[in-house]
Structure 1
Amino acid sequence: MSLNFDPQWLSRYPAQEPVGGAVSSCVFCGIACGDVEAHVLAETADTLCFLDHLPATYGHVLVVPKQHFQDLLDIPEESFQHVMATAKQVANALRDSCGASGINLVHATGQAAHQTVFHFHVHVVPRYDGDSIVVFPRLADPTRKHEVAQRLRTALNAPQPPKTEAESSQA
Structure 2
Amino acid sequence: MTGYRAFDFDAYARRVRHGPCFVCATRDGHPDYVHEILHDDADTIAFLVRYPRLLGHCLVAPKRHVEDWVHELDESEFVAFQLVVRRIARAVAAALPTERTYALSLGSMQGNAHVHWHVAPLPPGVPYAEQQFHALMLENGVLDLPPGSHAQVGERIRRQLRGSG
Shared fold by TM > 0.5? yes
Larger RCO, structure (CA 8 Å, separation 6 or more): 2
Aligned-pair distance for 1:54? 0.9
Runs of 4+ in structure 1 off by over 6 angstroms are none
Higher helix fraction (1 or 2) = 2
Unaligned runs of 5+ in 1: 1-7, 19-23, 138-171
Contact 1:51 1:61 in 2 (8 A): yes
Give the Cα separation in 2 of the matches to 1:31 and 1:73: 23
CA offsets, 1:17-49, max 9 Å, x none?
Answer: 49xxxxx92121011122231111112221000
In 2, Cα distance between equivalents of 1:32 and 1:91: 20
Give the structure with higher Rg (CA). Answer: 1
* Structure 2: gaps spanning 5 or more residues: 1-5, 135-165
Q: In 2 relative to 1, CA 79–33 (structure 1 residues): closer, same or farther, beyond 3 Å? A: farther
- Written as runs of structure 1 = structure 2, the 5 A alignment for 1:1-171 is 11=9, 13-15=12-14, 16-17=16-17, 25-35=20-30, 36-77=33-74, 78-108=76-106, 110=108, 116-132=111-127, 133-135=130-132
C-alpha distance in structure 2 between counterparts of 1:31 and 1:69, whole Å: 15
Tell me which amino acid in the other structure corresponds to 1:128: P
**What's the % identity of the aligned pairs?**
25
CA distance, structure 2, for counterparts of residue 79 and residue 10 of structure 1: 36
- Displacement of 1:93 in angstroms is 0.8
Asked if the contact 2:107–2:114 (Cα under 8 Å) also holds between the matched residues in 1, the reply is: no
Alpha-carbon RMSD across the aligned residues, in angstroms, is 2.7
Distance 2:97 2:71 in 1: 34
The alignment's TM-score, normalised by the length of structure 1, stands at: 0.60
Aligned residues: 122
